[in-house]
Chains A and B, each alone.
Chain A
């Protein structure tokens, strides 16, 4: 007030200078206040983002643990319900051998025991193959996927075909297994939910990326539906696919063909996944 009154005097500082000063002061204070609040907002946003990422990671981890547990339960059930009784039967036959000294009966029970042991061997081989397909280990992804598709096609219920355009450079073994599992899970989902009449898988690559594309004509998923479903608490399959793909640093796209006749799933992996 004193300053403004003094400004009327000709020998004093003009009032425009006061307003200029006040304006500059307001601007400077405004800037500082804006920066402080803006930064607080950014930090809050970052925290939210971090929390969401944490939740996502936690969900994926839980899914993978649950999958592991389910796999263990399945193996335990296979061993307990199939291999256990078979071996127990063999034991019975051999016990009988010790009691019954009749030569012909002994031979018969040894033959029966041998048959059952053969079955058990076959059973254990099946269990181990379901855990780690030998074709994949020995001959690579192309042969393993071809195998799966041949079996699918052979069942007669679906028209399945696959074509690897350029697989001279194999994926790293651990990546091959992950990609194989992803393909298996996707085919499983298609068979279970889409009621498709054909599945077609193609592989291709360029210098930077490795592609797998699966087409089918059933009722499939679009990217938004996939994002929605994978965040749901129930259902492991999509979460597992997502966690495997993110472990491979890959990307996964679900889309509907522009002609609206079939769905397309694309899996892209970076070049460093290849050997």
Chain B
């Protein structure tokens, strides 16, 4: 698949995911969006694909000679975004999933 199309798809899906999270009624198990691993995974891929979108389009249309400045810069920028993505993914891994009692006690009984 063309990498630009893939990036557009991922960005669109991420936006749809966030939109759904905002519009769905808040349930008791998940109070804040950032307390779910899914949020960090989606944010990681959104930032990665948004950041590298133009870079991928550029590299597809131009042959980057190994060792050239463009090649180094391409790898540098890509590397920075891969790093950000991986940091966010590790945050996702360390985020505890839905916690039953994440809601203040006074709201627990109300369902």
A residues sitting closer than 8 Å to B (CB atoms) are 3, 6-7, 9, 11-14, 17-18, 20-21, 24-25, 27-29, 31-32, 35-36, 38-40, 42-43, 46-47, 50, 54
Contact = CB atoms under 8 A, between A and B. Distances in A.
Contact of A21 (B70, B72, B77): B77
The A interface, classified by DSSP as helix, strand, loop or mixed, is helix
A20 B50 CA distance: 10
Contacts of A17: 54-55, 58
A21 B80 CA distance: 12
Given A13-B58, A28-B46, A35-B22, A6 B73 contact: yes
Contact of B51 (A7, A12, A24): A24
A36 B33 contact: yes
Contacts of B76: 3
Interface of B: 11, 15, 18, 21-22, 26, 31-34, 43, 46-47, 50-55, 58, 65, 68-70, 72-74, 76-77, 107, 110
A12 B77 CA distance: 12
Contacts of B77: 3, 13, 18, 21
23 contacts: A6-B69, A6-B73, A11-B70, A12-B69, A12-B70, A13-B55, A13-B58, A21-B54, A21-B55, A21-B77, A24-B51, A24-B53, A24-B54, A27-B50, A28-B46, A28-B47, A29-B47, A31-B15, A31-B18, A31-B46, A32-B18, A36-B32, A43-B32
B1 to A, nearest CB: 20
Given A3-B77, A25-B51, A11 B69 contact: yes
Contacts of A47: 107
Contact of A35 (B26, B33, B73, B110): B33
B32 A25 contact: no
Nearest to B48: A28
Contacts of A25: 47, 50-51
Contacts of A6: 69, 72-73
A29 B47 CA distance: 7
Given A11-B70, A24-B51, A25-B51, A39 B33 contact: yes
Given A21-B55, A31-B46, A13 B74 contact: yes
A13 B51 contact: no
A24 B26 CA distance: 30
Given A13-B58, A39-B22, 16 more contacts: A6-B69, A11-B65, A12-B73, A17-B54, A17-B55, A21-B54, A24-B50, A24-B51, A27-B50, A28-B50, A32-B43, A38-B22, A40-B32, A42-B26, A50-B107, A54-B110
Contacts of A3: 73, 76-77
